[in-house]
């Protein structure tokens, strides 16, 4: 179907049903059908809405109006025209930057934000030669296939999906192809993104060469301190096409947590419970979700990780190799506004490399912070606080 939005005819595909809708925004080079593999896994539970950005897919291609704000206004018009009362935004790459801007406006009905290999909110400034190469990447079958094989993917696409990427890339209007590298990619929406208060998850391919994990941890995560990150092993930039089932699984889990109101810890006392459950299940992503992206933690071996999501992930990953079992018992909580000081006793059991069981005990001091999404997370964790 087509919807007149923001003065432009926007093509929209829909499937599924339900009170909660998932609104999908595609990448630079894609279309609404980029999400087909993901949507097919979710349409039995949710209403699926996927748009073609202006100039892409089957949408109208005006001569101008391709800034991030224009694309955001197009999507907002679709949401309004469809009368969506409750929805989760899902944006990939360029669509992820558009989704960030929409979410920063805190629209009524937005219940969550999923950013899949998103372009960061800060400007991506390329040398003229690289920008020219990007503009020319989607001009011929040969150039598109080269980009697929050497830039966009880490896992081979099947023949049908590969052909789809070629067709979508070549079909786009020239002004749409030129606008991302020349204009939208260079826009700075960092200040706006700092206003996002919806529950947020970032899904990143481990081998993404376009919007790398390290780039997102430096440029995006600190601006949305309550956002959690899920890394897909062995996957590149086109995760909705390389790993649609895995992407759908992460989205489903995130949305289910929103629906049953377990997406965030609503009190400081819930944080140790969530920490125990994640650690004992060896669930690294859920464990990291208990921490603020600006967290400082002293690991039990004495190592201190300070405001580095990468180092925190690596430190906790090493701990999980020991198959830990932990139990935290809160002794005291002192809360003042959005900060809480927590004193708790803990017992940690691990299996050493030689197979021996080892137990440690201590009393930890923790500082927790209430985020913009209303969830409490660890800001400072010192397991050896009173030892």
- The pLDDT of residue 387 is 53
Confidence class of residue 126 from pLDDT cuts 50, 70 and 90?
A: confident
User: Tens of pLDDT along 250-266?
Assistant: 999 999 989 887 778 89
Give the 3-state secondary structure of residue 112.
strand
- The DSSP bridge partners found for residue 342 are 333, 366
Residue 151 has pLDDT above 60, yes or no: yes
User: Tens of pLDDT along 198-217?
Assistant: 999 999 999 999 999 999 98
In 3D space, the residue among 314, 317, 320 whose CA is nearest the CA of residue 280 turns out to be 320
Print the SS3 string covering 218-248.
HHCHHHCCCCEEEEECCCCCCHHHHCHHHHH
Helix ranges (DSSP H) in the chain: 36-42, 68-81, 94-104, 128-135, 141-147, 159-171, 174-182, 190-193, 213-219, 239-242, 244-259, 270-280, 284-288, 309-320
Spatial distance between the Cα atoms of 359 and 17, rounded to a whole number of angstroms: 50
Sort strands 228-232 and 200-205 into parallel, antiparallel or unpaired. Answer: parallel
More confident residue, 351 or 76: 76
Average pLDDT over residues 160-176: 96
Residue 174 has pLDDT above 90, yes or no: yes
Mean pLDDT of the chain: 92
- The pLDDT of residue 137 is 82
Confidence class of residue 379 from pLDDT cuts 50, 70 and 90?
A: very high
Spatial distance between the Cα atoms of 331 and 68, rounded to a whole number of angstroms: 49
- The pLDDT of residue 370 is 92
- The pLDDT of residue 297 is 87
Residue 71 φ/ψ, nearest 5 degrees:
-65, -35
Residue 237 has pLDDT above 60, yes or no: yes
- The pLDDT of residue 384 is 77
User: Tens of pLDDT along 268-324?
Assistant: 999 999 999 999 999 888 888 899 888 888 876 667 877 777 788 888 888 888 888
- The pLDDT of residue 121 is 97
Ordered by where they begin, the domains of the chain are: 2-259 (3.40.50.1820), 270-382 (3.10.450.50)
Matching residue, tokens 């998103």: 118
Confidence class of residue 351 from pLDDT cuts 50, 70 and 90?
A: confident
Spatial distance between the Cα atoms of 333 and 19, rounded to a whole number of angstroms: 38
Q: Alpha-carbon dihedral of residues 290, 278, 380, 203, nearest 10 degrees?
A: -40
- The pLDDT of residue 130 is 73
Average pLDDT over residues 118-132: 84
């Amino acid at each position: 179907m087509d919807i007149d939005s923001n003065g432009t005819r926007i093509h929209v595909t829909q499937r599924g049903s339900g009170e909660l809708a998932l609104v999908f925004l595609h990448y630079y080079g894609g279309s609404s059908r980029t999400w087909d593999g993901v949507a097919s896994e979710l349409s039995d539970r949710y209403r699926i809405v996927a748009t073609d950005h202006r100039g892409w897919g089957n949408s109208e291609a005006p001569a101008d109006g391709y800034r991030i704000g224009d694309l955001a206004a197009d999507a907002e018009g679709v949401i309004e025209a469809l009368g969506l009362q409750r929805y989760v935004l899902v944006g990939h790459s360029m669509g992820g930057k558009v989704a960030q801007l929409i979410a920063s406006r805190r629209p009524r009905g937005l219940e969550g934000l999923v950013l899949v290999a998103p372009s960061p909110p800060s400007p991506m400034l390329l040398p003229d030669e690289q920008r020219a190469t990007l503009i020319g990447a989607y001009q011929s079958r040969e150039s598109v296939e080269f980009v697929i094989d050497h830039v966009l993917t880490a896992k081979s696409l099947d023949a049908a999906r590969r052909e789809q990427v070629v067709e979508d890339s070549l079909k786009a209007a020239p002004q749409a192809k030129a606008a991302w590298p020349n204009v939208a990619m260079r826009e700075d929406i960092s200040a706006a993104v700092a206003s996002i208060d919806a529950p947020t998850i970032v899904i990143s391919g481990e081998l993404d060469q376009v919007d790398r994990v390290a780039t997102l941890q430096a440029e995006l995560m600190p601006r949305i301190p309550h956002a959690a990150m899920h890394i897909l092993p062995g996957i590149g930039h086109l995760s909705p096409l390389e790993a649609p089932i895995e992407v759908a699984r992460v989205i489903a889990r995130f949305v289910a947590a929103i629906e049953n109101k377990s997406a965030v810890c609503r009190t400081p006392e819930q944080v140790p419970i969530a920490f125990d459950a994640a650690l004992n299940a060896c669930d690294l992503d859920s464990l990291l979700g208990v921490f603020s992206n600006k967290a400082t933690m002293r690991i039990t071996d004495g190592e201190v990780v300070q405001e580095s999501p990468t180092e925190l992930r690596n430190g906790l990953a090493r701990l999980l190799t020991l198959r830990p079992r932990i139990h935290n018992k809160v002794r005291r909580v002192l809360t003042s506004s959005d900060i809480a000081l927590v004193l708790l006793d803990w017992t940690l059991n691990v299996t050493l490399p030689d197979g021996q069981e080892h137990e440690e005990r201590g009393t930890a001091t923790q500082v927790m912070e209430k985020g913009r999404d209303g969830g409490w997370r660890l800001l400072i964790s010192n397991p050896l606080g009173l030892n």
